[in-house]
């Protein structure tokens, strides 16, 4: 069975929730996408806002899912959007990127605050009750990785004024099996007290099934059977040779 899983996991291509191939219902805070790319796996995405106005996710030319809040405060514990991604069965190698992570210009010439600041925090995966931290890759030069502000958490802060530049993006990866992923998009503390509207994009979501399909299991079983028969074909001549040698020496 381990061999069957290995064959399936390494040979099957990734499944992708491609924003150019699906439609998010306008005005809806949540959406379920059934049987993604024929995988038999459904993905449900829900969003919930606190401390601001929010028009629900929208799609940007089929390339990203866009979150577009107008926070009432720069205090991240009050102004945030919680996003939860659920899979109907366990998946592995989940990967997606955050786009347009940045901050605005200074609120005034003398100000040390900015008109807005994008922050991603509390990004975790779950396998039942086990929490799994992601690995961050492809971190743009305009994204500040903050491991000091909150013990046990990593905050990704927009650290310069960009406009959908690759420098304002990063990717999160969960190699281990998960069934749920959650993260919080919040206002940064360096934003002005009433930040202006801001936006980030979420890229296509790719993953592999962590449970091999029935066809893969059958293929693995057949392969194991073939290997067993092959090993037997070597054993019989060896035993025949051994019997002949014993007979000649007796």
Query: For the residues of 148-164, what is the DSSP string, one character each?
Result: SSSTT--EEEE-S--SS
Place of tokens 């998946």: 91
Q: What are φ and ψ of residue 231, in 5° steps?
A: -65, -35
Q: Is the pLDDT of residue 46 over 60?
A: yes
Taking only the tens place, the pLDDT of each residue in 69-78 is 988 888 877 8
Taking only the tens place, the pLDDT of each residue in 28-37 is 999 999 999 9
- 11 alpha carbon, distance to own chain's centre: 20
b/e per residue 127-147 (b: at least 16 CB within 10 A): beeeebebebeeebebbbebe
Question: What mean pLDDT do residues 84-107 have?
Answer: 95
Taking only the tens place, the pLDDT of each residue in 103-146 is 988 888 778 888 889 999 999 999 999 999 999 999 999 999 99
| Per-residue pLDDT at 228 | 47
* Domain ranges within the chain, ordered by starting residue: 13-210, 213-250
| Per-residue pLDDT at 213 | 53
C-alpha span between 65 and 82 (Å, rounded): 14
Q: Give the single-character DSSP code of 46.
A: E
Report the CATH number of the 13-210 domain.
2.60.120
Per the rule left: phi > 0, alpha: psi between -120 and 50, beta: everything else, 110 is alpha
Residue 24 burial (C-beta neighbours within 10 Å; 0-12, 13-18, 19+): middle
Q: What are φ and ψ of residue 84, in 5° steps?
A: -125, 130
Q: Give the single-character DSSP code of 51.
A: S
Q: What are φ and ψ of residue 139, in 5° steps?
A: -80, 120
Lowest mean pLDDT among 84-98, 103-117, 203-217: 203-217
Question: What mean pLDDT do residues 70-98 have?
Answer: 92
């Amino acid at each position: 069975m381990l061999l069957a899983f290995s064959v399936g996991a390494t040979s099957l291509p990734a499944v992708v929730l491609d924003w150019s191939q699906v439609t998010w219902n306008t005005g809806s805070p949540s959406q379920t996408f059934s049987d993604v790319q024929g995988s038999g796996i459904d993905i449900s995405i829900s969003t919930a806002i606190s401390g601001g106005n929010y028009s629900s996710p929208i799609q940007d030319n089929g390339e990203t899912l866009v979150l577009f809040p107008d926070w009432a405060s720069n205090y991240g514990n009050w102004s945030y959007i919680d996003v939860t991604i659920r899979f109907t069965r366990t998946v592995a190698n989940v990967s997606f990127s955050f786009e347009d992570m940045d901050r605005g210009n200074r609120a005034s010439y003398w100000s040390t605050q900015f008109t807005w600041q994008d922050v991603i925090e509390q990004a975790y995966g779950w396998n039942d009750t086990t929490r799994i931290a992601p690995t961050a890759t492809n971190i743009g030069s305009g994204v500040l990785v903050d491991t000091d502000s909150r013990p046990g958490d990593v905050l990704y802060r927009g650290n310069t004024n960009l406009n959908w530049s690759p420098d304002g993006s990063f990717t999160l990866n969960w190699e281990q099996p998960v069934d749920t992923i959650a993260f919080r998009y919040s206002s940064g503390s360096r934003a002005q007290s009433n930040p202006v509207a801001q936006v980030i994009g979420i890229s296509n979501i790719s993953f592999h099934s962590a449970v091999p399909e029935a066809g893969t299991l059958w293929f693995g079983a057949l392969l194991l059977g073939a290997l067993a028969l092959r090993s037997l074909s070597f054993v019989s001549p060896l035993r025949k040779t051994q019997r002949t040698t014993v007979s000649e020496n007796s």
